[in-house]
Amino acid sequence: MAISFQSENVDFPAIKKRDTANWIKAVAKKYDRQVGEISYLFCDDKKILEINRQYLQHDFYTDIITFDYTENKTISGDITISLDTVRSNSQQYQTEYAEELNRVIIHGILHLCGLDDHTEAEKKAMREAENSALLLLKNGAA
């Protein structure tokens, strides 16, 4: 069981891989899940648009795309994050870049744990779950 982090077309973000992996495992455990194979790719807007068009037939930029390979209670997936969009979102929402990046990192994990964000109620629940996970990270409980 492994969590891997790569970057393409961007500098690797200033995250602590081991701490981030431990945090992801702690969040998954809160949802009675264990971590299988999770791969993160940090990229630019151009790359995420290419993936969005090729695999989802969506012609727009986004901050994250999660491909879910979860089986039973073992979460697995490929998570692609555009650091360009994370940066612009942090400016738009007036949040620290690092906090916005962590929010997006855990957003993909929450999807793998079964949370969705299509309806307003789901979006609210997702935001609450993100905030709870960020608090866990901030308090070093991961």
Count of beta carbons in the 10 Å neighbourhood of residue 104: 22
The answer to whether the CB of 105 falls within 8 A of the CB of 130 is no
Count of domains in the chain? 1
For residue range 56-113, list pLDDT tens digits in order.
999 998 999 999 999 999 999 999 999 999 999 999 999 999 999 999 999 999 999 9
Q: Residue 134 is part of a domain; what is its CATH number?
A: 3.40.390.30
Judge whether residue 124 has pLDDT over 70. Answer: yes
Q: Which pair of structure tokens corresponds to residue 26?
A: 């702690």
Of the pLDDT bands very low, low, confident and very high (cuts 50, 70, 90), residue 139 is confident
What domain range is 38 assigned to? 2-138
Of the pLDDT bands very low, low, confident and very high (cuts 50, 70, 90), residue 142 is low
pLDDT value of residue 1: 65
For residue range 6-39, list pLDDT tens digits in order.
999 999 999 999 999 999 999 999 999 999 999 9
The answer to whether the CB of 76 falls within 8 A of the CB of 112 is yes
Judge whether residue 130 has pLDDT over 70. Answer: yes
Judge whether residue 140 has pLDDT over 90. Answer: no
| Mean pLDDT along residues 34-58 | 96
What burial class does residue 135 get, using C-beta atoms within 10 Å of its C-beta: 0-12 exposed, 13-18 middle, 19+ buried?
exposed
For residue range 75-87, list pLDDT tens digits in order.
999 999 999 999 9
